[in-house]
Amino acid sequence: MAHAPVPAAASHCSYMVLMEKAAFNFRTSYVKSTEFYDTYNGKFPLVMNWRAGRLACEVAQKDMRSYACVSSHSVCVNVTSTNAKPGYRCMCSDGYEGNPYITDGCQDIDECLKAANMCGTGICENTPGNYRCSCHPGYYMTNGVCVSKSKNVAIPAMLVVGLGVGCGFILLSLVFGVLFIKHKLKVLRAKKLREKFFEQNRGLLLEQLVDKDIAERMIFSLEELEKATNKFDEARMLGSGGHGTVYKGILSTQHIVAIKKSKNTIQREIEDFINELAILSQMNHRNVVRMFGCCLETEVPLLIYEFISNGTLSSHLHVEGPQSLSWRDRLRIAFETASSLAYLHSSASMSVIHRDVKSDNILLDDHLTAKVSDFGASRGIPIDQAGVTTAIQGTFGYLDPEYYQTSRLTDKSDVYSFGVILVELLTRKRPNSFRSSDSVSLIAKFNLLMIKDKLFEILDPQVLLEGAPDVEVVAALAATCLRLNGEMRPTMRQVEMRLGRLLGTESNTRHEINDEQNYASFQISNDEGINCSRSFPR
């Protein structure tokens, strides 16, 4: 509120003015002179922030008795005061003007009465809240402008059709041209990528192979394998494991093969596949799955094996029902598996530790002949070394506890895993799923019952019926393989010979005499607290 005297000509009194606070800066001269009046020429800036009601529109519209926007074609607008309190004002809708606070106060604006014709040279027709344009006879509307029809040039219908067909053909040609170029570029990129992977994987493979010619003899193209598997159709999938998915394939030569494809493209998977390829390409044993070749044109190589049609030992052993593999078949499969592991440990140019021996990795053919497979986790160890320290790999339930605790991998790690398989053959129970009332593992339960001379409680009834007296010997052999101290376990060659004698199979290796003599040191003794029952039910 400003207060100052006015000029004598205007009044003999002082005056007060309501004005905008931000526009006023007080001076003492304003009190005794007309300076303030003269500065603003008697006109003072005023801002009035007002509202029709103290409610927001949404709330005010619910009470029509106090709602201020009573005119039709009016709208409510929310406003906020300087103290942030809600309120509203009324306005006429677009196309209307007047007083929105009285009944029918908002009236239609006749746009056609404005000095400038809203429709240019056309006809303006007022409508409620708007207007509509049309053209005089002989004219037509295009882009809001009236154009004389006489200016149109008649175009022959055939020409119009011809132009349409021509434009369509050109457009279609462009589309097909773009698609063709994209396809060619895609094919070219795929070819270059295959070449890159081929050279990369071939280099890794040659680093590990002793015989460099093997790599050249075993290579398949990606195109051939895609045809063999119908582009890796899910219907061709045989199974999936920790190191990849296996598909059934039919080569152009009509040979049926198993093709292993990695699930991941991480560096470890690449190294595992190259490792498996390098190991299997140098193996030659009737109980080791045979490798036909590989494809190096993918980031992780594809491996091609002989097709083993009869599933895994696990699938045969753990079928529903009381009957499974006969005891004679189980004993022979154990012998063949032991033979292959003994070969890996001692007969190859470099000792190979499988590192994932389990019933799922023992395949059976139509004659139930065992074939050890899945060498992705395998590790080669020079003959002059007893073992290596390496990262833990394997399957719980089959994993050597000494290897798990120390990370020290030796051939005795495979011996322990084989001992678990012997227990699995004896009991028909899965080592990684067995639970008793006190949650003791299968191997712990087996050893405990051996000590208590009650092993028959855990044995498969079919084994008790068919296997005596061999069962006692196999159980004792399993116990030696499962010793916690790896040095106290037998070698796989000794295990092979012991099982061979049970089968009546003579071993022809030059190690037979020494190994048979040394086996005595691994026999179960009462001093160790593990006994084999001498009174199995007959």
Active site residues: 356
C-alpha 311/C-alpha 169 separation (Å) is: 58
**Burial classification of residue 251, based on how many CB atoms lie within 10 Å of its CB (0-12 exposed, 13-18 middle, 19 or more buried):** middle
Q: CA angle, 293 as apex, 289 and 294 as ends, to 5°?
A: 115
Say which residues have a Cβ less than 8 Å from residue 203's Cβ, sequence separation at least 6. none
Residue 266 gets which letter from DSSP? S
The C-alpha R_g of the chain, in whole angstroms, comes to 47
3-state secondary structure 303-371: EEEECCCCCEHHHHHCCCCCCCCCHHHHHHHHHHHHHHHHHHHHHCCCEEECCCCCHHHEEECCCCCEE
Treating both helix axes as pointing N-terminal to C-terminal, what angle do 327-342 and 470-481 enclose, rounded to 10 degrees?
30
* Amino acid identity for residue 498 in this structure: R
Q: Which residues pair with 337 in a beta bridge?
A: none
Looking from the CA of 189 toward its CB, the CA atoms found within 13 Å total 6
C-alpha 520/C-alpha 153 separation (Å) is: 113
C-alpha 292/C-alpha 219 separation (Å) is: 9
Q: CA angle, 13 as apex, 12 and 18 as ends, to 5°?
A: 140
C-alpha 16/C-alpha 448 separation (Å) is: 109
Which of these, 290, 276, 289, lies nearest to 352 by C-alpha position?
276
Residues contributing to the annotated binding site:
261
C-alpha 372/C-alpha 339 separation (Å) is: 10
Place of tokens 């003269």: 38
* Amino acid identity for residue 79 in this structure: V
